[in-house]
A = this chain, B = another copy of it.
Amino acid sequence: MTAPSLQRWAVRIEYDGRPFVGWQRQITGLSVQQVLEEAASRLASGRVVPSITAGRTDAGVHATGQAAHLDFPGDVRLNDSTVRDALNFHMKPYPVAVLRACPVDTEWSARFSAIRRSYRYRILNRRSRPTLDDGRVWLVKRTLDEAAMARAARLLLGRHDFTSFRASACQARSPLRTLDRLGVVRQGEEIVIEAEARSFLHHQVRNMVGTLKLVGEGLWAPDRVAAALAACDRRAAGPTAPPDGLYLTGVGYDPDPF
């Protein structure tokens, strides 16, 4: 019997996005993908171990629940805890960690099998700049009205053409998306926005947050968000919120391999 040609492993990943050019490999600097694949290559005697991710996060965006899969050569001996611990060992000192690793069928794809993506956006709403959370929140000094933001957020729920909230560089074929959740709550000095959908357009969460911030500041009435959505024109919505406050918190699968 010959060994299978490849072994696919699903990994749940956490990272601090600050030092990276983003998930995807780029010639301009270090990516999370490069750190992960080079560590995986160390387990495969230096052979290439390609990865596919559920969400190609931008530079400076963080993850607490990213998912990806790795295709190891078939002859490498692997088990759940050695994959997790060995990848973590080889990814030092970079702020990337594998939380869980499990073997999956090669039919399974971290990207195409995903049925839900969850993001959190943290706004620090106070006068003083962040210290412990520098680079990990968006500082907004003017007091935000979180109830108005929550009302506006509800107008974006459901299936819509989200062209107004889509980056010009977005490569998705359709601007139609179904937004299942967009919650806004205050937690002390922070405004926390939770977004959930099967998938998002490029910059969609950050563009929605940048628009909700205008509502929170009182510059926009909540209803204007519905008008911006209906315009199907990027110029009708607010600016893009910075990457600092954005976290990919989870990717859902059915069944969940983790």
Contact = CB atoms under 8 A, between A and B. Distances in A.
B134 A95 contact: yes
Copies in the complex: 2
A216 B139 CA distance: 38
A129 B88 contact: yes
B129 A97 contact: yes
Contact of A131 (B97, B126, B127, B129): B97
A81 B90 CA distance: 48
25 contacts: A14-B128, A14-B131, A14-B132, A15-B131, A15-B132, A16-B131, A16-B132, A16-B134, A62-B132, A64-B132, A81-B127, A84-B128, A85-B127, A88-B128, A88-B129, A92-B129, A95-B132, A95-B134, A96-B131, A97-B128, A97-B129, A97-B130, A98-B128, A99-B128, A132-B136
A194 B136 CA distance: 24
Interface in A54-108: 62, 64, 81, 84-85, 88, 92, 95-99
B96 A127 contact: no
Interface residues of A, number: 24
A89 to B, nearest CB: 9
Contact of A99 (B62, B88, B126, B134): B126
The 5 closest A-B pairs by CB, nearest first: A95-B131, A97-B128, A16-B132, A97-B131, A16-B131
A112 to B, nearest CB: 26
Interface in A132-160: 132, 134, 136
Given A16-B131, A96-B131, 18 more contacts: A14-B128, A14-B131, A14-B132, A15-B131, A15-B132, A16-B134, A81-B127, A85-B127, A88-B128, A92-B129, A95-B131, A95-B132, A95-B134, A97-B128, A97-B130, A97-B131, A99-B126, A132-B136
A14 B92 CA distance: 29
A190 to B, nearest CB: 12
Interface in A227-256: none
Contacts of A88: 128-129
